[in-house]
Amino acid sequence: MLKLGILAGVVFLVSVKANGAIPQEQSPAAPEQTGNAAGEAAASPPSTAKVVTPPKFPPPSDADRQEFAYLIAGMKAARESISKAIVTYTGRRTSTDEEEPSANVDGRIEGLMAFDTKNRRLRIEHTMPAAYGRDINEVELKSLSASGKLMESLGGPYAQIDQFLMYVQNESYSAHYVKNGKHDSNLDISTPDWSWASTRDLLHLIDFRSLGMIDVQDYSGWVPPLVYQGSTHKLDDTSLLCPLETVIHNFTVRKHFRLLKESGLVTIEWRCHTLTIDDRNGFTPVEYRTTDKYWDLYHTTYQTKTSWNQVSGHWVPVTAVLEMDDERRTKRERFELNLEWSRINEELPDELFQYESFKNVEENTPVIDSRPGAGGILGEWIGGKLQTRFETQPPPPRSSRVIIIGSLSLLIMLVLLLIRRRSRFHAKSDNGSASVG
């Protein structure tokens, strides 16, 4: 029920999202298409539509190739120089859909992210507004699926709710708890390598070191977080959440690009993308822009602007605005973020990465350990902590205890009486045998 509700609530977003922040190089004869929007355009183009071929730049010079490699290596080194930190963030999400006004969203974002990449430890506290549709039970689901009307029925009217997530990962396990305004999940404990792609409840989560190199498609949570579409790159063991390592990798596969320099900034242009880097201030990406153009009738523009400051000697993003404007579907999405960084590359307490420190978990939430060989249901969350199944059973009332103790005493007396009578019987038998002899 929970996952169906979430799917209903965000299906209006899915129709315009593409599966991959930075698509791989494609044939110049075909328009750059990814995800549902591209599939829809390819399947039913208007009769008057003309294919738009993305711009193709000539092969770069050797000097440009060397500078490109220098910029990418600089960004990678600067971002990966931070292996531990705590990031608290606030912001706002606004989303408008002129075709379905009930799906509009306007609300506050807030949360905390702590990470320790070398030890693969992570903590997330996250709240964000979203649009939520109606619930569909299993009987109705089967009926709608059989009639082919499922997607049509997943539409509005919608209601705005707040999504809430608590998540930790450490060397022994990962654990998460989700609320979406109408339903809450169990507190689930899984293996440390539990995949983000295994659930779509965990929306809008990124590695904040990647800000400036991603767009709304990434931050909206519909991109498989470990490997993007078409990418064969495998993440190393120090990558959390992604997409830092994957984002950097996707930039390195460019074969045709152009470098522009202006006002101390360097802009990389390729196909329908531009990335502007301030290489004099920590190789910081300050603007990223993508235009997906299908045929010649409409286009979707994604733009991210990021500002950076130095904290403890490291350049970190402190503000970001991520926007999406889909002209054809009259849908717009905007995320505003303000971030505060602390404890950069300092030791972080173990308690920060343990589920016992979870906050705002509903009372009586089942706690389930799904790791192989684990005990299944461990108990319930009561009073801000786990109470085992034995602990959650209230003690019997006083009258019940009196009855139980009395029954045990009576049973013991009966057993002793029986033993005594049997002893007397055996004694008489032995005396009778002696007299006969």
Find the radius of gyration of the CA atoms of the chain. 31
Is 388 in a helix, a strand, or coil? strand
The highest-confidence range among 122-126, 212-216, 247-251, 277-281, by mean pLDDT, is 277-281
Q: Higher model confidence: residue 12 or residue 425? A: 425
The label of the residue with tokens 């490997």 reads: 227
The Cα 173–Cα 191 span in angstroms is 5
Distance, CA of 321 to CA of 304 (rounded, Å): 6
Answer for the pair 233, 242: CB distance below 8 angstroms, yes or no.
no
Q: Check pLDDT > 70 for residue 347.
A: yes
Strands 187-190 and 365-369, sheet pairing? parallel
Task: Give residue 107's pLDDT.
Answer: 95
CA distance 263 to 5: 49
Higher pLDDT, 165 or 34: 165
46-72 per-position pLDDT tens digit: 566 566 566 677 788 999 989 988 998
Res. 409: pLDDT tops 90: no
pLDDT of residue 182: 65
Tokens of 41: 């355009």
Using CA atoms, how far residue 233 sits from 23, 196, 230, 252, in Å, is 13, 17, 9, 11
Identify the band that residue 305 occupies on the pLDDT scale cut at 50, 70 and 90.
very high
CA distance 34 to 18: 5
User: What pLDDT shows up at residue 179?
Assistant: 86
- What percentage of the chain reaches a pLDDT higher than 70? 64
Question: Higher-confidence residue: 300 or 188?
Answer: 188
Over the stretch 245-279, which tens digit does the pLDDT of each residue have? 666 766 776 778 889 998 889 999 887 888 999 99
* pLDDT over 90 percentage in the chain: 31
DSSP state of 354: S
Amino acid identity for residue 170 in this structure? N
Sign of CA dihedral 371, 125, 331, 304: negative
Q: 37 pLDDT band (50/70/90 cuts)?
A: very low
Q: What is the reported pLDDT for 208?
A: 87
Q: For 183-245, give the DSSP string.
A: -B--EEEE-TT--GGG-SSS-S---GGGTTS--HHHHTT-S-SSS-TT------TT--SSSHH
For residues 278-285, average pLDDT: 95
Least confident of 3-17, 118-132, 162-176, 353-367: 3-17
Do 6 and 189 touch, CB atoms closer than 8 A? no
Look at residue 400 and tell me whether its pLDDT is greater than 80. no
Residue 194: Cβ within 10 Å count: 19
- The mean-pLDDT minimum among 126-140, 213-227, 260-274 falls in 213-227
Average pLDDT score over residue span 35-45: 40
Find the mean pLDDT for residues 173-190. Answer: 85
**Average pLDDT in the 351-363 region?**
94
* 235 contacts: CB under 8 Å, gap ≥ 6: 226, 227, 242, 245, 246
User: Where is pLDDT greater, at 119 or 375?
Assistant: 119
Q: Which residue has the higher pLDDT, 29 or 148?
A: 148
Query: And the tokens for 350?
Result: 């173990």
205 contacts: CB under 8 Å, gap ≥ 6:
124, 126, 165, 196, 221, 225, 241
- Nearest partner of 87 among 206, 176, 170, 204, judged by Cα: 206
